[in-house]
Structure 1
Amino acid sequence: MCVADSRATTPASAEGAARPSAGNLVPALHGAFRAATDGVLTAAASHCVPEALRSPGLAVVRTGRAPARFACSLLFGAARTVWGHRAAPAGATAAPAGCAAFSLTLRPGRPPRAPRTPEGTATA
Structure 2
Amino acid sequence: MSDIVKKQRPVNLDLQTINMPITAIASILHRISGVIMLFAVGILLWLLAESLSSEQGFQNAQEIVSGFFGTFILWGILTALAYHIAGGIRHLLMDMGYFEELESGALSAKVSFVATVVLSILAGIMVW
Using the size of structure 2 for normalisation, the TM-score is: 0.40
Q: Which has the larger radius of gyration?
A: 1
